[in-house]
Each structure stands twice: as C-alpha cells, then as structure tokens.
C-alpha cells in the first residue's frame, strides 16, 4: 500500500507576498492562525475546501501550493 | 493558545482547585468537630459549578475565526476518546461494588450521585487532557 506524503509552499509564498503574516493568511482563508501554523509544519493536512481557499489567498493554483512530496511503497 | 485550550486548562484548574479546597475543608473540620460533621466540607465540591462559567470568561473575539475544521476535528476526537473512556469507567463503577459487597447486599443510594459525579468529573478531565494533547499542550507553535 502506498503511503502519500504531502508538502506545501505556504511559508515561501507568504514571504513572496510581501511577507504576509500567518494571521493575515488565516483571515483570508477563513481559518485560525494555529491551523496555518500546523499546515506549514506538515502536522495537519487541510480539507480540499481550505486548500483551495489558501491557494486563492495567494492567487495561485492549488498544485502550486500543495504537492505530493513522495510516495513510499510500504509493501517493500 | 486558543480559546479551546484555555477552556481545557481552566477546567483542569477548577477541578484540581476544588479537590484541594474540599480536602483542606474536610481536614480542618475533622480536626475541629470530628468525622460525621466534617463531611459537610464536601459542600465545597459545589465550586465545580465554576466549570459552567468557561464560556462567559473566554468570550468569542469579534471578527476573528476561532473554530475551524482543525478545531472541529480535535473536538470530535476528544469526544471519541472521552466516550471510549466512559464505558470501561461506567462498567467498573457498577461492577466493583458488586464484587466488594456481593450480589445479595444493599448499597446506599448515596452511591449513585457519587458515581455520577465522579464519572462526570473524570470525563471532563479526560476531554480537557485529550484536547490539550492534540493541540500540543502549550502550543504557541513557532510564531513568526
């Protein structure tokens, strides 16, 4: 069975967008700052809806923000 | 620290404070008046009513998202953990007196509210701890 690991570019995109703070991004995406922190640190995978909202906050496509980092085959 | 973490800490603090206060009161009354009268110190358990004030103390901030999908997930998980703890606890609370005093002996009906209260307090503590563990105890989470 494949194990999928997700990664995101939120931190980099925040800095590319005039050093947007986590609070500003949270307000734009309609979530809490703690959730943004958890997503940035890879501790929480957002729902599809929230992922779209975060991507919209950066004016990017969802795949520009979130990506599959690696797929590990656990059968091996 | 968000509102839900603060409420969890508040619940734990109130419960610990109540038990310390009750223990001290019962202790002092035992020294002064002896045992049956000292049990009136258990009235201090009424301090647990402060648990109900958490929503008033930690009010919602205006124009601020305080409960999103992650909070909802953490809330549901803590409820699941609490429910999973409830049944073994309830079964134990029912079966232990049965094993101790046997099937043909009566127990005081005072045992019922005591059981209910003890289970209720334990569940509040379990839910609070489950909430704090999922948020990561202090979790100021790498602010920048």
Q: pLDDT per residue over B107-139, tens digit each?
A: 888 888 888 888 999 999 999 999 999 988 655
Residues linked to residue A72 through DSSP beta bridges, in sequence order: A3
Q: What is the ipTM of this complex?
A: 0.78
pLDDT of A1 reads: 64
Cβ–Cβ contact A25 with B under 8 A: no
Instruction: Work out the angle between the directed axes of helices A22-29 and A48-57 (0-180°, nearest 10).
Output: 120
pTM for the structure as a whole: 0.80
Q: Are strands A66-73 and A2-8 parallel, antiparallel or unpaired?
A: antiparallel
User: Which candidate in B5, B64, B67, B68 is best for mutational testing of the A interface (most A CBs within 10 A)?
Assistant: B68
**Residue A71 — pLDDT band, cuts 50, 70, 90?**
low
Three-state secondary structure call for residue B63: coil
Give dist(CA B47, CA A53) in Å, integer.
Answer: 44
Determine the average pLDDT of the residues in B46-71.
84
Burial of A24 by CB count in 10 Å (0-12 exposed, 13-18 middle, 19+ buried)?
middle
Chain B residues 42-71 with a CB less than 8 Å from chain A: 65-71
Residue A12 has pLDDT above 90, yes or no: yes
User: Which candidate in B137, B138, B141, B143 is best for mutational testing of the A interface (most A CBs within 10 A)?
Assistant: B141
Give dist(CA B144, CA B141) in Å, integer.
Answer: 9
| Token duo for residue A25 | 């991004």
Cβ–Cβ contact A57 with B under 8 A: no
Residue B17 has pLDDT above 80, yes or no: yes
Please choose, from the candidates B6, B144, B128, B62, the residue with its C-alpha nearest in 3D space to the C-alpha of residue A40: B144
DSSP 8-state assignment for residue A69: E
- Are B70 and A30 inside 8 Å of each other by CB? no
């Amino acid at each position: 069975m494949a194990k999928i690991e997700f990664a995101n570019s939120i931190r980099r995109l925040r800095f590319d967008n005039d050093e947007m703070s986590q609070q500003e991004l949270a307000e734009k995406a309609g979530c809490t700052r703690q959730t943004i922190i958890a997503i940035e640190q890879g501790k929480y995978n957002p729902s599809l809806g929230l992922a779209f909202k975060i991507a919209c906050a950066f004016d990017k496509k969802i795949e520009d923000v979130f990506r599959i980092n690696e797929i590990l085959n656990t059968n091996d | 620290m968000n509102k839900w973490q603060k409420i969890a800490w508040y619940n734990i603090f109130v419960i610990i404070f109540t038990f310390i206060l009750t223990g001290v009161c019962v202790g002092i009354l035992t020294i002064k008046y002896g045992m049956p009268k000292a049990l009136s110190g258990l009235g201090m358990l009424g301090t647990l009513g402060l648990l109900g004030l958490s929503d008033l103390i930690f009010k919602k901030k205006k124009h601020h998202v305080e409960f999103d999908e992650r909070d909802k997930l953490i809330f549901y998980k803590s409820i699941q953990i609490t429910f999973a703890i409830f049944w073994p606890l309830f079964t134990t609370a029912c079966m232990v007196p049965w094993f101790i005093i046997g099937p043909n002996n009566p127990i005081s009906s005072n045992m019922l509210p005591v059981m209910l209260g003890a289970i209720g307090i334990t569940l509040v503590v379990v839910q609070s701890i489950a909430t704090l563990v999922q948020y990561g105890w202090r979790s100021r989470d790498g602010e920048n």
